[in-house]
Amino acid sequence: MARTTKLSLIGLVFLLALFPLFQPPIHSLSFLFLVFLYIILAESWNLIGGFGGYLSFGHVAFFGIGTYTSALLFQKLGLSPFVGAFPAGMMAAAVAAVIGYPCLRLRGPYFAVVTLCFAFIMDLIVKNWSFLGGSEGIHLKLVEMEIRLSRSIFYEIYLGLAAVTVIFVRWVEHSKMGLGLSAIREDEEVAQTLCIPTARLKLQAFVLSAFFPGVAGGLYAYYISYVHPDVVFD
């Protein structure tokens, strides 16, 4: 990336960070919050779908797992979602490791369909398990905060998380891992003949691609204060 481009992006992030200080309409903060959220989801998906060529249609499940993990940590242990966001990301990554090991043996549309089914299965499990709130969801009794202050805080947090996600994904892209994933995307059989550890790289990419949505989901639980499967798994 050219130096001028890097400086331009740094300047853009800096200006966006100052945006709440100008007292913009609350709906503007909410809109940009969602933009940052989708940047996090898209960039993290790019690790497995873009670099590796394995199209995951159920990636939203990891966002939902992170949301429910954070909500349960708050409800059962009183752990703030701000603190529980990292464990939420780790939980999403752990689930990705468990399902990724067998699922990544599949390729093309077979892998895509299996990941889509995984998202549907997670939705059904949550709706039918009372421990997770079932179809009624989980209400979080949080400390009341002035809405502008609340939206500004989450705006800044998600801006920072989006920036970290983009930087990390760009780093992976230019690393040995990124080159290996690109080789897998172009021709996995040839990559294997070149002694590229395809199975390990795919699993690593899948796990990492689940971590960031999990963290974002963990924070989202605090943002909406009401967690429901139709919201976080849709």
At 154-177, the pLDDT tens digits run 999 999 999 999 999 999 999 999
The model's pLDDT over 7-65, given as tens digits with 9 standing for 90+, comes to 888 888 889 889 888 888 999 999 999 999 999 999 999 999 999 999 999 899 999 99
Question: Is 72 in contact with 138 (CB distance < 8 Å)?
Answer: yes
Query: Mean pLDDT, the chain, as a whole number?
Result: 91
Structure tokens given for 140: 């979080």
Q: Using one digit for the tens of pLDDT, what is the confidence trace for 191-215?
A: 999 889 999 999 999 999 999 999 9
Cα–Cα distance for residue pair 145/64, rounded to 1 Å: 24
Residue 103 makes CB contacts below 8 A (sequence gap 6+) with 111, 114, 115, 118
Q: Which amino acid is at 59?
A: H
Q: What is the rounded CA–CA span in Å between residue 135 and residue 25?
A: 34
The confidence band for 148, taking pLDDT boundaries of 50, 70 and 90, is confident
Classified as helix, coil or strand, 74 is helix
Q: Does pTM top 0.75 for this prediction? A: yes
Evaluate whether 51 touches 205 at the Cβ level (below 8 Å). yes
Cα 92 to Cα 62: distance, rounded to the nearest angstrom = 5
Greater model confidence, 68 or 142: 68
Flag whether pLDDT at 230 surpasses 80.
yes
pLDDT at 2: 63
d(CA 215, CA 161): 9
How far, in Å, CA of 10 to CA of 4, rounded? Answer: 10
Question: Which pLDDT belongs to residue 170?
Answer: 93
Which burial class, exposed, middle or buried, applies to 130 when counting CB atoms under 10 A from its CB (0-12, 13-18, 19+)?
exposed
Instruction: Kindly state the percentage of the chain with pLDDT values over 90.
Output: 63
Integer Cα distance of 172 and 178 in angstroms: 5
